[in-house]
A and B are shown apart, each in its own frame.
Chain A
């Protein structure tokens, strides 16, 4: 590991990264990954990336921001950063988060309680750069100096800092080294929120400077608003794909499933993360089967953006967030449904059910909920017969931060797995004190450069440790194991991380959603809904 990084290093003019991590520096993992030398080597950033993009923070590069061509360009970008900084603290521009941001800026005591809770800081071997207060302290100093126009006394009181282009460039990258899981905020004795700081920095860069990772903005939120889904599926294509899913699921289970589209006056409008339809079609298929058997009056909508629950704006841009939330409720209003139910997607549930609650008014405030209580009631009401013996393999449950710590949905999923999975075991800690999968806030879909190496070695490391510990008594390949992750982004992270460490091949560790476990345990469907094959 390079020497301890200081706040002032952020302004360093050279192009060298501030830190470099080796596997030996990282938090140790349990068996079978307990020897650092056997851990995978990191891919090195290409020379081309280093020369073309601003990659001077650490070993990776998430945003792929082209280097400014001249000192003049750098000056303009710094000026734009400053104008954005002012706007973050104006009610006209940032009424959405002004109060929590001010509280966080003005009252951190620097006690570092947050650091003890941060999975990224811990997994990195407690590297200062990833300390939750590191980026917050920089923003705080900039706030007092440039927004509050503090002088020498303010610098003495709050600390000084030098603002230049290298600092802004590094701050852009640093805003994408936090999963926004807010575990740090949960621990803060004052109530300061370092996750919010990363969120607000991302907003500044996006809303003022037009800078955001391509996967989240251009190929994410913008594509959703253009084609209807971040997968690129138009309404016609999604209907075709779902029809294929219905056909497949009917064949596999022996029960006819037909997904209803655009049914006016239905009780439930179901919205999936459309990525499920492409990557894990058994998930929307299982949903269709369960709702059909339970006799729920339901529909999906083919309106623009309404067949894809994702709302990436939650991670980086309030305007994009509001637009997508509005599209979702407008579709529900058009159909006249009684409620919107969000499928297995954590950030989408949080975005639409909770955060949008302070955005929607009047007849647009259509009732919205997560699928988990509905599924729990279906499983436990006795209408469908289950045979838990069909799920007699080790199962552990991942708590998606957005559903659990940030929505308080803790027990419904547990009631289901306790009822249907005889070998269920908890990770430690779990529930509202869970750890992020490491793919939160967009990381699971960010694969540029060697960023996946960072998210598996650093942001996902604590979760990987938890998973391996949960299956510590049955790690051998003779026992197939199921990691239940009821969230599309978490599933994406697990898929990539398990594959990266070859844990399916060596240890028969499979991941999947919750509805798949439910269908697998149904007494009246053909056996073997969960296929023990890598996907």
Chain B
């Protein structure tokens, strides 16, 4: 069981990372699109950011420097990521279950990180201090992990109920959406249950993590906990290939679309990208577009179908 769990963890993490990189690459490699921002844009100056204003409110805006109020941007990002601000503001009914679920995931990540830290650093401090630190870490991991499991399970179940019972959400719910929530529920139940019912001689989470680092097959784990680890690994491998990778999409959707108010200045990288884009050769087949796969976008834009028709 332990060997299978180790392999699952490594495979899951490798696929997760590779999948995330593939996603990031997919979006990062798309051409520079047209400007399509939405206000408020939080990196505007504090006065304008408060009501959603922009530098377009100033006459001859191109003469002044572009403000980058990163402090406010980080604040807005923190509120959005940690508290799901948009959902709280625009969809209160869904906010609480979604908040439970997402905050539970953050705690689960925190618990995993703490376990990794404890596993890696175990033995670095000797004597009584080691036992004390290990005990503290163990207690912290147990509390954070349990809170994570409770929040994820309750959030996922609540979301499932909403998806089934609320006609508005039900119409756009796909079988996979329910499956995903069940998968989270099952994974957290097994991991938390496996940790709680751990028998004598079974490794703790920290010991298991340390064992995974050294591929120590002498470490014994319970069947329930092992099943939880395997399921968690499968879940991690699965996430990048679903819409649940929206933690990646959100970065691009907010920073490259909604908040992208960068100016196209002479000699800038944006200008160079525009020049490259205008060299693409479209093949749209409507007559008025005049795209034949040989003309570039720049050439298409320079034609006048109304006057060509007249001729």
Contact call B174/A159, Cβ cutoff below 8 A: yes
Residues of A close to B290: CB separation below 8 A = 319
Are B306's CB and A358's CB within 8 A?
no
- The interface residues of chain B lying within 8 Å CB-to-CB of A387 are none
**A315 vs B246: C-alpha distance when bound (angstroms):** 28
A186 to B37, alpha carbons, bound, how many Å? 10
| One of B52, B86, B175 near A432 (C-beta < 8 A) | B52
Q: What is the CB-to-nearest-CB distance from B271 to chain A, in angstroms, rounded to a whole number?
A: 5
Which residue of A is nearest B26, CB measured? A102
Docked CA distance A355–B242 (Å): 31
Chain A stretch 319-374: residues in CB contact (< 8 A) with chain B? 319-320, 322-323, 326, 339, 353-355, 357-362, 365, 367, 369-370, 372-374
Contact B87 A319 (CB under 8 A): no
Stretch at the interface among B90-98, B202-210, B223-231: B90-98
Q: How far, in whole Å, are A159 and B304 apart by their CA atoms in the complex?
A: 42
Is B215 on the interface with A (CB-CB < 8 A)? no
Q: Which one, B56-64, B110-118, B132-140, is touching chain A?
A: B56-64
Q: Is residue B48 contacting chain A, with contact meaning CB distance below 8 A?
A: yes
If the complex has contacts A191-B250, A410-B53, A411-B53, are A405 and B38 also in contact, measured as CB distance less than 8 A?
A: yes
Chain B CB within 8 A of A33 CB: no
Q: Does A75 contact B (CB under 8 A)?
A: no
A219-263 residues at the B interface, CB under 8 angstroms:
222-226
- Answer whether residue A164 sits at the interface, using C-beta atoms and an 8 A cutoff: no
Q: Answer yes or no: A91 CB below 8 A from chain B CBs.
A: yes
Q: Are B264 and A98 in contact (CB under 8 A)?
A: no
Taking A97-B34, A102-B26 as contacts, is the C-beta distance between A370 and B56 under 8 angstroms? yes
The answer to whether A266 has its CB under 8 Å from any CB of chain B is no
Q: Is B126 in the interface zone, CB < 8 Å from A?
A: no
Contact flag A407-B56 (CB < 8 Å), given A87-B283, A137-B172, A225-B306: yes
Q: A112-B168, A207-B286 are in contact. Are A408 and B91 (CB under 8 A)?
A: no
B142 within 8 A of A: no
Query: With a CB–CB cut-off of 8 A, which chain A residues contact B263?
Result: 357
The answer to whether A225 and B84 touch across the interface, beta carbons within 8 angstroms, is no
Which residues of the other chain, A, contact B168 by a CB distance below 8 angstroms?
112, 115, 131
- A323's contact among B249, B266, B275, B304, by CB below 8 Å, is which? B304
How many Å from the CB of A294 to the closest CB on chain B?
12
Type the 1/0 row for A197-230, where 1 means its CB is closer than 8 Å to any CB of B. Answer: 0000000001111100000010000111110000
Contact of B243 among A6, A109, A353 (CB under 8 A): A109
Say whether B286 contacts A206, CB under 8 Å.
yes
The reply to whether the CB of A192 lies closer than 8 angstroms to some CB of chain B is yes
**A185 an interface residue at 8 Å Cβ cutoff?**
yes
B residues near A137, Cβ cutoff 8 Å = 172
Nearest-Cβ distance from residue A409 to partner chain B, whole angstroms: 5
A223–B173 Cα gap in the complex (Å)? 45
Question: Judging by beta carbons under 8 Å apart, are B52 and A192 in contact?
Answer: no
How far apart sit A405 and B33, CA to CA, in the bound complex (Å)? 19
Give chain A residues whose Cβ lies under 8 Å from the Cβ of B250: 107, 190-191
**Interchain CB contact under 8 A, A407 and B54:** yes
Contact string, B288-311, partner A, CB cutoff 8 A, digits 1/0? 111100000100111111110110
Residues B53 and A99 in contact, CB atoms below 8 Å apart: no
Which residue in chain A gives the minimum CB-CB distance to B241? A157
B23 to chain A, nearest CB (A): 9
Which A residues between 389 and 419 are near B, CB-CB below 8 angstroms? 404-412
Contact A107 B249 (CB under 8 A): yes
* Cβ A91 vs Cβ B253 within 8 A: no
Asked if B61 contacts A369 (CB within 8 A), the reply is yes
Bound Cα distance A192, B280 (Å)? 26
What residues of chain B lie closer than 8 Å to A409, measured between beta carbons?
53-54, 56-57
Q: Are B283 and A407 neighbours in the complex by a CB distance under 8 Å?
A: no
**C-alpha spacing A157/B245, complex, angstroms:** 14
CA separation between A407 and B60, bound complex, in Å? 15
Is B22 close to A, CB under 8 A? no
CA distance A189 to B81 in the complex (A): 10
Q: B284 touches which one: A87, A158, A190 (CB < 8 A)? A: A87
**Bound CA–CA A207/B285 (angstroms):** 7
Contact with A156, one of B53, B176, B282 (Cβ below 8 angstroms): B176
Separation in Å of the B35 CB from the closest CB of chain A? 5
Which residues of B in the span 17-37 have a Cβ within 8 Å of any Cβ on A? 26-27, 30-37
Over the window 237-265 of chain B, the binary record of Cβ atoms lying under 8 Å from chain A Cβ atoms (1 yes, 0 no) is 00000110110011011101110010110
Is there contact, CB below 8 Å, between B52 and A408?
yes
Q: Which of B39-47, B69-77, B144-152, B191-199 forms part of the interface with chain A?
A: B39-47
Q: A95-B280, A189-B84 are in contact. List 10 more A-B contacts (CB 8 A).
A: A93-B280, A112-B94, A113-B87, A128-B171, A131-B168, A156-B176, A158-B176, A319-B290, A323-B304, A411-B57
Going nearest first, the 10 A-B pairs with the smallest beta carbon separation are A191-B253, A408-B54, A432-B52, A226-B306, A110-B172, A322-B301, A95-B31, A225-B306, A113-B91, A408-B39
CB pairs A–B below 8 angstroms (25 shown): A84-B284, A93-B280, A95-B31, A96-B33, A100-B36, A102-B30, A103-B27, A103-B257, A109-B243, A113-B86, A113-B87, A113-B91, A156-B176, A188-B86, A192-B253, A196-B36, A207-B286, A209-B286, A358-B264, A359-B34, A367-B62, A369-B56, A372-B57, A405-B52, A406-B37
Q: Which residues of A come within 8 Å of B, CB atoms?
A: 4, 6-7, 80, 83-84, 87, 91-93, 95-100, 102-104, 106-113, 115-117, 128, 131, 133, 137, 156-159, 182, 185-193, 196, 206-210, 217, 222-226, 317, 319-320, 322-323, 326, 339, 353-355, 357-362, 365, 367, 369-370, 372-374, 377, 404-412, 431-432
